[in-house]
Amino acid sequence: MPEFTLSNLKITGFRGITVQQDVPLGNPLTVILGQNRNGKSSIANAIEWCLFGPEVAQIKYGEIRERETWEVKNLNSPACHVQCEFQSSDGKTLSVKRTFKTAKTSDISWEIKGGEKSTDEKKLHAFLRISSTDFVSSVHLHPETLRSLIIAKPKDRKEAIDRLLGLSELRDMVEAFASQKPNDWTTALDHDLEVLDGKLTTALSEKKRTIDTESTDLISQGVAKTDLTPEGALSYALELLNELQKFADRYHLTAPSIPTPADFTAIQQFRNQLPTVIEKLRNEHPALADQGKHLIQKSTLEGLRSSHASQLKKLEDAKLASTSHPEKRSVTELKAELTSNQTDLHKIEAEIREVSRNAKVLDEALTFFQNRTLSDRLACPVCGETTHSVEEWRAHIQKEISDKNLQPLRGRKEELAEKKITLEKAIEEKENLQNKIVNETSKLSSSVKNIEKAINRAISESDDPIAILNSEISALSETLASMQGQIQALNSSFTDFQSALLNLDRFQRIGNAQQEKAKIEAINDNDAYKQLKAIRKEADQHAEDEERLIEGLKSSVNSEAQKRLTNVQKAVSDTFSRLTNRPDYPGLKVSAVGDGFAIELTNQSEILKAVPILNHADINCAALSIFLALASSSQIAHRLGIVILDDPSQSLDIVCKKNLCQALSDLCDSRQVILATADNELGVLAKEMHKNKMLYNVKDWTPKGGPVIEAEATSAAHAI
């Protein structure tokens, strides 16, 4: 049962109010009169903001968010805060104060006198058992909220009536459950199962195909169809092992040391050891070993033959180069001549030096005589020719020395020097050719030694190594040719062993495919698959539980709604009848239908949908009827015993207004009513209501001073 009423309100700097205004309340009825834009609604809205703060900006009133762009704090006021004081029926005092910080933030503190004190907003709402949406639908009735009870979209109407009925939480739960779509989830699980089943079917086909293909191959290899079983595979493996043993015995080879497979599962390991066993037999077999040795020897001798022939050719080439050299003299002869040439060269150089020395003495003597006056005729001491001047004489003598003594000597020296170079070059070339012959001869000798080593016997100088090699190679070829038949037979055996290995692989693939096929065919007995089906069933059960719970919640909310509406049905209809005074359809019926509510007009014989018939005033009356009946009922869940009506008389005529005041007068018996109105007629009628009341005239608003709030003397003596 609602228990808290409002005893006092202090407002500073909120909306249209600037300086602090104290508004004592506390009477069952408070009437706030004032023309529009004088701050009347600011008083009513201050209570809402004090309790819920910036949250109220998010509340939808029908289709609009009226307060999204609210200027909460008055621009001419330095601070903004609102304080509400509530009294409970059992004597408790609750004080709540909210202080503006920003458009989206504020501070709140609340206190129960002599009791709890807190700044936790949620705790306050929990204490009052009210949310902001509950407040605007069931306490503070805006014209938009009133209209949404009748003409809003079914969903909004449903929400508005649900809140009045105290059923909004149940509705929320239904919606939250339904939004999870349990069936969508189980459908997705089914899809996963279908994909898995599809893969199993495909795998089964693949296994069958493998079995068919491999079986066909084995049959073509001579395996009987009846032997295409694990037992047949085992028997085939044992037979192969037996064949290998027989082969080893026949050629006196080491018997294969490999364990006999005990069952089908051991075949894989057996098969993996076989290549090593077969390779060992091959390596150990004497014929194959001999063949190998012969082939290697033949290949070695062929290589030696080729390299020896090449070495012979190189030696012959070196010898030919030596004999073809244009200088036919031996190196010794050339060296002797070089020595003689050297001696001649030294002699010539000594003569040149001697002549040069003499010429220098003569030149110095001539220089001495150069500027002297001598007789007209000067005779050359070399040739006797006469000259006419010392200069001429000197030139003549120098020319004589040069032409007849030095020039021939120098010419001879050059010849000897050239000859020396030619001799040295010839000596070097001849020595290189000789060295090459020695070198190639040495290599040939090594080649012969290699051949001796390969054929394991000595080769005399008279033997032709190539001929010997040809003979050896020919003998080896004959030996190899003679072994060919036996080798072919052996190779055929080994080919058979290899084929048997491949057949064992086929048996393996068939066996594996059969095992996997059997597993897939018996999938319904597979533990994991059974568990999967059980989980799927569990998911179904889960989804079904959710569906049942949704149905239960829906059914409960509807029956609860119907039950609560039934309790107030008479009050709704009576209030409507009183407000509208319609002779044709005096009654109004609200009933829960499906997920929503139907609002219908009634008379003694008919029930009709209300909205198409009602005019604007009737719609307001219908909405007010529903609200006043529900707001005054004992089933309201919150603890606020207040009803705030803001301009409820729109479109109502004087008769309706009188009836409204009568209804409000009745409401005052169970609720504190705060009526804000700009309607003078309603104001006058309200003043005349026979209730203890407070009257406030809100007027003369100025930007800096805000409104003047004038309390009017009241009396409960008048009656409507």
Partner 1 sequence: MVNANEIIDSIKLQLRDYPQETRIRELYERTRTAYQTEGKQGIRKELELDRSKLQTRFDEAIQKVKQDTGLL
Q: Which of residues 510-529 bind partner 1 (CB under 8 A)?
A: 516, 519-520, 523, 526, 528-529
* Least distance between partner 1 and beta carbon 476 (Å): 56
Which of 356, 367, 541, 680 contacts partner 1 by CB under 8 A?
A: 541
Number of residues near partner 1 (by CB under 8 A): 44
C-beta closer to partner 1: residue 259 or 552: 552
Which of 239, 545, 653, 712 contacts partner 1 by CB under 8 A?
A: 545
Residue 501 exposed, middle or buried by CB count within 10 Å (0-12, 13-18, 19+): middle
Per CB under 8 A, the segment of 138-146, 170-178, 260-268, 604-612 that binds partner 1 is: 170-178
Should residue 546 be labelled a site residue for partner 1 when binding is judged by CB under 8 A? Answer: yes
Should residue 634 be labelled a site residue for partner 1 when binding is judged by CB under 8 A? Answer: no
Cα–Cα distance, 26 to 642 (Å, whole number): 10
Question: What 3-state DSSP class applies to 707?
Answer: strand
Q: Pairing state of beta strands 587-593 and 596-602?
A: antiparallel
Should residue 190 be labelled a site residue for partner 1 when binding is judged by CB under 8 A? Answer: no
> What is the residue whose two structure tokens read 């996997």?
516
C-beta closer to partner 1: residue 536 or 699: 536
Using CA atoms of 459, 465, 469, 472 in order, give the dihedral in degrees to the nearest 10: -30
* Least distance between partner 1 and beta carbon 15 (Å): 30
Instruction: Give 640's DSSP letter.
Output: B
Which of 79, 103, 176, 475 contacts partner 1 by CB under 8 A?
A: 176
Spatial CA neighbour of 594 closest among 157, 34, 274, 148: 157
Which of 70, 127, 185, 494 contacts partner 1 by CB under 8 A?
A: 185
**Helix or strand holding residue 305 (H, E):** helix 286-323
Give φ, ψ of 331 to 5 degrees.
-60, -40
* Least distance between partner 1 and beta carbon 550 (Å): 9
Should residue 172 be labelled a site residue for partner 1 when binding is judged by CB under 8 A? Answer: yes
Asked whether 625 and 654 are in contact (CB, 8 A), the reply is no
What distances in angstroms separate CA 231 from CA 224, 237, 264, 456, 499, one per listed residue? Answer: 12, 10, 7, 58, 19
C-beta closer to partner 1: residue 423 or 520: 520
> What is the residue whose two structure tokens read 């199962």?
193
C-beta closer to partner 1: residue 207 or 691: 207
Q: Which two tokens stand for residue 299?
A: 């290949």
Q: Which of residues 643-682 bind partner 1 (CB under 8 A)?
A: none
Should residue 203 be labelled a site residue for partner 1 when binding is judged by CB under 8 A? Answer: yes
Cα–Cα distance, 484 to 355 (Å, whole number): 95
Asked whether 578 and 570 are in contact (CB, 8 A), the reply is no
C-beta closer to partner 1: residue 163 or 691: 163
Question: Could you tell me which residues are beta bridge partners of residue 11?
Answer: 21, 82
Which of 208, 346, 347, 542 contacts partner 1 by CB under 8 A?
A: 542
Give φ, ψ of 577 to 5 degrees.
-60, -40
- AA identity, residue 522: A
Should residue 199 be labelled a site residue for partner 1 when binding is judged by CB under 8 A? Answer: yes
Convert 296-318 to b/e letters by CB count within 10 Å (16 or more is b): ebbebbeebbeebeebbeebeeb
Should residue 537 be labelled a site residue for partner 1 when binding is judged by CB under 8 A? Answer: no
* Least distance between partner 1 and beta carbon 263 (Å): 20
Should residue 273 be labelled a site residue for partner 1 when binding is judged by CB under 8 A? Answer: no
Should residue 593 be labelled a site residue for partner 1 when binding is judged by CB under 8 A? Answer: no
Should residue 179 be labelled a site residue for partner 1 when binding is judged by CB under 8 A? Answer: yes
C-beta closer to partner 1: residue 437 or 532: 532
Should residue 266 be labelled a site residue for partner 1 when binding is judged by CB under 8 A? Answer: no
**Helix or strand holding residue 467 (H, E):** helix 465-521
Cα–Cα distance, 1 to 670 (Å, whole number): 10
Per CB under 8 A, the segment of 239-247, 553-561, 572-580, 650-658 that binds partner 1 is: 553-561
Spatial CA neighbour of 566 closest among 597, 535, 541, 540: 597
Which of 128, 468, 504, 553 contacts partner 1 by CB under 8 A?
A: 553
In total, the chain counts a number of residues equal to: 720
Q: In what order do the strands lie in the sheet with 81-88?
A: 21-24, 4-12, 81-88, 93-102, 105-112, 117-118
* Least distance between partner 1 and beta carbon 630 (Å): 18
C-beta closer to partner 1: residue 487 or 549: 549
C-beta closer to partner 1: residue 9 or 520: 520
C-beta closer to partner 1: residue 367 or 555: 555
Which of 345, 352, 539, 611 contacts partner 1 by CB under 8 A?
A: 539
Spatial CA neighbour of 559 closest among 590, 589, 594: 594
C-beta closer to partner 1: residue 346 or 548: 548
Q: Which of residues 54-83 bind partner 1 (CB under 8 A)?
A: none
Q: Which of residues 107-146 bind partner 1 (CB under 8 A)?
A: none
Question: What 3-state DSSP class applies to 561?
Answer: helix
Question: Could you tell me which residues are beta bridge partners of residue 387?
Answer: 378
* Least distance between partner 1 and beta carbon 591 (Å): 18
Cα–Cα distance, 100 to 122 (Å, whole number): 18
Sequence-distant (≥ 6) Cβ neighbours of residue 302 within 8 angstroms: 473
Spatial CA neighbour of 101 closest among 80, 77, 71, 76: 80
Q: Which of residues 440-499 bind partner 1 (CB under 8 A)?
A: none
C-beta closer to partner 1: residue 548 or 718: 548
Which of 192, 194, 263, 496 contacts partner 1 by CB under 8 A?
A: 192
Cα–Cα distance, 354 to 202 (Å, whole number): 119
Which of 454, 549, 611, 720 contacts partner 1 by CB under 8 A?
A: 549
C-beta closer to partner 1: residue 176 or 395: 176
Handedness of CA 304, 309, 311, 312 (dihedral sign): positive
Which of 551, 653, 669, 710 contacts partner 1 by CB under 8 A?
A: 551
Which of 144, 560, 666, 681 contacts partner 1 by CB under 8 A?
A: 560
* Least distance between partner 1 and beta carbon 302 (Å): 56
Spatial CA neighbour of 657 closest among 686, 699, 635, 637: 686
Which of 170, 579, 601, 698 contacts partner 1 by CB under 8 A?
A: 170
C-beta closer to partner 1: residue 392 or 545: 545
Which of 414, 538, 606, 710 contacts partner 1 by CB under 8 A?
A: 538
Cα–Cα distance, 410 to 402 (Å, whole number): 10
C-beta closer to partner 1: residue 363 or 540: 540
**Helix or strand holding residue 465 (H, E):** helix 465-521
Please report, as ranges, the residues that interact with partner 1 according to CB under 8 A: 169-170, 172-173, 175-177, 179-180, 185, 189, 192, 196, 199-200, 203, 516, 519-520, 523, 526, 528-529, 531-532, 535-536, 538-539, 541-542, 544-546, 548-549, 551-553, 555-557, 559-560
